[in-house]
Structure 1
């Protein structure tokens, strides 16, 4: 008898039902999970650290799983040969040092991710990661590390003792997701930082070993951000703009209607090796010292900016008097004003490096000019400046001074020279030229010397329409200063030549501004019997507390 292989009725039905299931589950035309489904996403590992003496608390609660799952494990390598587990852990180190810490996380799908950061352990250092929200004093027995953008909030005073050192982290060291480290005083915030000649307050990079004067030099720029002070004094622009160098999202605004606004005190402060650009866009770097709408109630004297990547000191509006300023070896302009600055200055000194630098002074009137603000251009008064460029043989090509964008101002009793190109440019395609013709732009009783662009005033002034008037009001002669751009003790900016012009007295300054606008207050300006920033035969006011002095550029 022949027996055919026939499926019983129930078995046949079950087999038919299984066929499409087998076909569907056997098809693998999508991703690794099959069926065209979404690929599993790796988790994100992130952590913060809080240093308290030798004990460091690590917090990885910011780690996430984009799939919506959970982190199942946290494994730490503390950089000293030990490890630990847990989302939040505390670890005690046995010695001062920099430790490379690594976190590895695993999610509930078995996916892994890791993150690393360098943690500095030093009981004498305090890492500042949070904004200053209550009155705070930084003391000279500690070094303060800026871990990102640190704001001093409105209504709060930050006091910094003489001799205190503040260091800014570079971008790759910052653990707060900020793009740079900087100290920023908001409007209605206050900083009381009164150093002394014997105990200056130093802002510098974490890479700077202050015990080794030779570890960083004039070309070491852009290692951190800078110092920014924002106030409520008048500016030329409508509203309250955000300051350059800081993301708009941070709300770092400046400007108001109080010319006597008081942001505090800055005295005997050296700011070194800053100027980092958060955006990476040229021109968006942080100045060494930025003054946004800082009022005349603020005290600013004896400030040094050394080896900044961007401008040394820049004013955006405001009315403050700034005296005894030294700017050395910066990558862009030494002094820069804009946005309706109507303050005063005396004893300003700069020397530029041959490898990088801009103008000795870049002098802008506005950011934006309208019918409402056209008479509110920058128009300050500066006396006793010494501007030394990058040298007549430098490959750079900027002028000593440029007035543009409706800029104005008055300069008296100053020494200006050693620049590779010309001495002066007044832009003729905007209101800067009009300001000269109207008497708001004044250059008088200044001495020009040693320019790559020429050997008399007409040859160093760009544009013939200004030659005669500027030549009649100023002189071209060697003031007898000693210039060196190496750390050989050869820099001595005190004039030694005889026959220099007699200084013009404050009572004879024009101090001219458009009718109906406020002129600078000349009260703080002193009448002295010499030209330039330094008195002949007297000690340099930079001695002892500046990087120029401490690293051997000047002979103390």
Structure 2
């Protein structure tokens, strides 16, 4: 097939060579045209096709030959029900908004490319129904040629709804020249649509001026929204950001984000299960769990539950790299997890409201294996933080010059927060209490956790299974079969198989 990096390998030439290959090949091999064939050799496929499925998702079957699908430019607002099909490539030329009550349906195997500054945004009342399959995932990617694609090449995909958020008059800054979409309302069952078996690559860029999106943004989306089997790769900012709402997410893979793979704020009160994260070496926190920055008591509070998660750090890079940072009054219940490879700490709670929430038992990290965390490999938590800490600091409780603390060997008289006032909160003692059943310093047995192009995910069963691990609660919408630590069942083929990809560029 045609590849823009080899312009002399035109579709016409390739079609001719394909159709006449058996007759021309002996002659060509004896001519200087051999050089041309060698240049094109990687692009030729002499297998004939009968249907589009024979083209392995890379083209359409035309006159018995796999050919690149035609490209359709998308330049206008989508104001009526529209369907995108896999026999075309859709090119986003700008910020494309879908307005109420329109529904954009994207069929399995469809590829959507985006130019600089482009994005796809479903406004409140509109929906995106993007349902791929394991064999034919939907792909959103950069319009730049393979080899020249970079994080931030385009904006991303955003779904906006009217579920509860903690900020009044909340809008997403998308286009400086138009009225901004208002986020949130009172309907926690709000349906923003479906994103399933879908990849989103090289997003997180600016859409206009200083306004940027994330790979996937969910803002005010409710319980009827479905986000399941989604891979977001190489976003320039966050791969996934959830602003409030109550949407539940399942089977989420986030790899190589430029900032935080998963950023949560403004009162998200949903759940996640089967969450896998591999950080870029320059990335920050695997999970950034925040509330409303300007008011840490604003309701709804960020109050989430996560079961079956694997958080793999970048083994260096960013100034601060935690497994999870809980701040701004947020609360988090995390269970059945693996946290490894973060060079700062595994989990940190900071600021007065979040620390008080942990003290009251609203933040729990249990049944989690910590391995190779911190500069010395055993610095799982900072020794503590005082209450009150500075609520205006996103990193209260962290001092670059303080000593990390792991296990039960912490200096419990230290105060990494640097505050001389307030009641001391010992994070080491809290997160290592026996009732949480956390495991420290044991290798989970993942073969290639830090491989950026071909990572493995499945752990061994040695430390990730056992009678002490209870089933996730089915009454709260969790899959009760996840009776193991991490996002992947030991000894089985990972749910990422067959539909994900890890391109460098």
- Give TM class, smaller chain: 0.7 to 0.9
Residue 77 (structure 2) aligns with: 131
Counterpart of 2:417? none
Q: SS state of the match for residue 380, structure 1?
A: strand
Residue equivalent to 2:163: 233
Q: Could you say which residue in structure 1 is the equivalent of 2:275?
A: 348
Q: Displacement of 1:497 after TM fit?
A: 4.9
Match of 1:492 in 2: 456
Aligned residue number for residue 445 of structure 2: 480
Of stretches 430-439 and 342-351 in structure 1, the one that deviates more from structure 2 is 430-439
Change (3 A) 1:250 1:276: farther
Does the CA contact (< 8 Å) of 1:153 and 1:185 recur in 2?
yes
Q: Kindly state the Cα deviation for residue 297 of structure 1 after the two structures are TM-superposed.
A: 0.4
**C-alpha distance in structure 1 between counterparts of 2:175 and 2:359, whole Å:** 37
Q: Does 1:323 align with 2:250?
A: yes
Q: Could you tell me how far apart the structure 2 residues matched to 1:488 and 1:333 are?
A: 19
- Match of 1:505, SS? coil
Contact map agreement 2:373 2:379 (CA 8 A) in 1: no
Match of 1:374 among 294, 298, 307: 298
Structure 1 unaligned regions, length at least 5:
1-121, 171-179, 210-214, 510-520
Structure 2 counterparts to residues 189-208 of structure 1, below 5 A: 189-208=126-145
1:484 deviation in Å?
5.0
| 1:410-453 deviation line (CA, Å, top 9, x unaligned) | 1100101111221122113x311111112211111111111233
Query: After superposition, where does 1:460-479 map in structure 2 within 5 Å?
Result: 463=385, 465-472=426-433, 473=436, 474-476=438-440, 477-479=442-444
Q: Cα distance 1:414–1:367, how it changes in 2: closer, same or farther (>3 A)?
A: same
Q: CA deviation at 1:208?
A: 4.2
Residue pairs, 1:5-84, within 5 angstroms:
none
Q: Indicate conservation of the 8 Å contact 2:267/2:299, yes or no.
A: no
Indicate if the aligned counterparts of 1:285 and 1:309 stay in contact, CA closer than 8 A.
no
Deviations 1:261-320 (A, max 9, x none): 111111011000111124554xx5311100001100011100111111010111100111
Equivalent of residue 531 in structure 1, options 482, 485, 501: 485
Q: By how many angstroms is 1:343 displaced?
A: 0.5
Query: Which residue matches 1:296?
Result: 223
Q: 289, 306, 313: which one pairs with 1:363?
A: 289
Q: State the shift of 1:503 in Å.
A: 2.4
- Specify which of 496, 500, 503 is matched with residue 546 of structure 1: 500
CA distance in 1, matches of 2:458, 2:185: 39
User: What is the match of residue 154 of structure 2?
Assistant: 224
Count of aligned pairs between the two proteins: 393
> Which of residues 102, 109, 114 is equivalent to 1:163?
109
Unmatched runs of 5 consecutive residues or more in structure 2: 1-67, 386-411, 413-425
Q: Contact 1:321–1:524 (CA<8 Å) still a contact in 2?
A: no
Q: Is the 8 A contact 1:422 1:461 kept in 2?
A: no
Note closer, same or farther for the CA distance 1:395–1:409 as it changes in structure 2 (3 Å cut): closer
TM-score for both structures, normalised by structure 2: 0.73
Distance 2:191 2:482 in 1: 27
The verdict on how the C-alpha distance between 1:418 and 1:247 changes in structure 2, with shifts beyond 3 A counting, is farther
Q: 1:244 to 1:525 in 2, by over 3 A?
A: farther
Deviation of 1:461 after TM superposition, in Å, equals 5.7
Report the counterpart of residue 11 of structure 2 in structure 1.
none
For 1:426 and 1:363, the matched residues in 2 are separated by: 10
Two-structure CA RMSD over aligned residues (Å): 2.4
Give distance in 1, aligned partners of 2:224 and 2:278: 29
* Inter-partner Cα distance in structure 1 for 2:498 and 2:153: 24
Paired with 2:355 and 2:208, the residues of 1 have a C-alpha distance of 34
Q: What's the TM-score once normalised by structure 1's chain length? A: 0.67
Q: Distance in 1 between matches of 2:93 and 2:207?
A: 14
Rate the CA distance shift 1:442–1:375 in 2: closer, same or farther, 3 A.
farther
- Please state whether the residue corresponding to 1:547 is helix, strand or coil: coil
1:408 to 317, 331, 337: 331
Counterpart Cα distance in 2 of 1:344 and 1:286: 22
Contact map agreement 1:201 1:268 (CA 8 A) in 2: yes
Aligned CA distance change for structure 1 residues 256 and 525 (closer, same or farther; 3 Å): farther
